[in-house]
Amino acid sequence: MAAINYTPPPTVREFIRHYKVGELFHDWIIGPVGSGKTTGIFFKLVFMAAQQAKSPVDGIRRSRAVIVRNTMPQLRDTTLTSWNYWFKDGIAGDWRATTTTFVLRFGDVECEVMFRALDTADDVARVLSLETTFVILDEFVEINEQIVEALAARCGRYPPTKDGGATNWGMWGSSNPGNEDDWWYDYVGLGDDEIASNVRLWVQPAGDSEAAENLENLPGKEKYYYSLAVGKSPQWINKFIKVMWGYSLSGTPVITTFNPQLHIASGSLKPNKFLPLVAGFDPGLAGSALIFGQQDLNGRLLVLDELIQRDMGAERIITDRLKPLIKARFYDFEFIIAPDPAADSRSNNNERTIVDTLRDRKKGGFRVVFPDMNNRLPLRVEAIEHFTTRLVQGQPALQIDPRCKHTIRAMQGGWRYETDRKGKLLKEEPEKNASSHPGDGFGYLCRYFQHSTAREARRNNTAVNTPQPRRTNHYVMR
């Protein structure tokens, strides 16, 4: 192979050189459009093929890779076009059109590179029967979980033992960010699930940041991303330029007045020990949420923290989650829980309510307050919008600490109504998903403070309008 002059961007360089010997590894890189990440996955293959041990038969370092894209047009128009730019037929190796395979050769390395699209069930079946060393996914967020799991099982199957066997093997890929409700978000360690020890994610800097990569190879250089953003939606800019995971646009958001630029605090919010701390609580055995907040002296609602649980009863939540958080962040605060009114209802098989458990001095001893006993959704939505649509002394009436990622996800569209393909509402209640409990818990928090504000206003109004006794001048005789 003729010499190729390639200098990877800093993040791509780190991504290329990472691997684990004798263990299946999963390496993923995301970045803005034009950042050089697709080229990076090709040169990681060049690097990895050179790490393979020599065959004891003829001294050749043999390996086999499959490069996957989710459709044939995308494979042909983008992936193969990028590959052919760097690796020329007859120079870097040989192209075999009948099998869409390129045999890459350089030095003592021979790597069979297969290009496959997952258009049909037959395509998938052929890929899943392959014996490969490496699997590479171009735009990996578009590949579903079952396919990824099956492909992972095909790694390390080549070369055969007589040629020394595979001495390193793995999967890697590049992509723009996907949506936070995609399975990939948790898989690469950005969600709640603990990331596997052999999975690693690299994130390139945003295209409009000072650290943006690969600008020297883009038209307009530093002006490229600013020109690209013209006429694009905020969602598109966040995903393809700012490298931010988005939110599914399917369904209709419950809250349409939330503005991330206004309502997400620029940094960590500091709790005030002299103000009451309130937790809106949406209970449930399958899932539950506690959303913690305070209302400052100007009337702004500050959302400070959140606890999201699955498969936990009230006693475990108190012991394992609530008490440790209060001890760590809110020790000696006046603390109030504002739950769903249904938490005070007894089930058919248990005379003890969730509220009983919260108030029980042996369990929690917490103060529980219901602003009212009505848990209808429109009232919670109205309470949230009371804060999302107001300014207080020229500042947003709502500020959410960036650590409250579940609450933010819910407000940005994760908490939504289910719709059909034409956008018609299927149900009048939000769909049950990962954002349901944070959305409801936040609604109870807002409902509490909305009622507090209303009570304070009524108190002040009464004080102003109540007739006062007539003053009488008293004279003292001397």
The pLDDT of residue 455: 65
Same topology, domains 10-223 and 253-463? Answer is: no
Q: Which CATH class is domain 253-463?
A: alpha beta
Ordered by start, the domain boundaries in the chain are 10-223, 253-463
The pLDDT of residue 166: 94
The pLDDT of residue 146: 86
The pLDDT of residue 384: 96
Kindly give the parts of the chain with pLDDT less than 70: 1-2, 121, 192, 247-251, 346-351, 420-426, 454-478
Joined together, the tokens standing for residue 423 give: 């956008």
- Condensed to tens digits (0 to 9), the pLDDT of residues 341-400 reads 988 876 544 557 889 999 988 888 999 999 888 888 999 999 999 999 999 999 999 999
CATH of 10-223, one of 3.30.470.10, 3.40.50.720, 1.10.3720.10, 3.40.50.300: 3.40.50.300
Joined together, the tokens standing for residue 240 give: 């393809």
- Condensed to tens digits (0 to 9), the pLDDT of residues 222-243 reads 899 999 999 988 888 989 999 9
- Condensed to tens digits (0 to 9), the pLDDT of residues 207-227 reads 999 999 999 999 999 899 999
The pLDDT of residue 248: 63
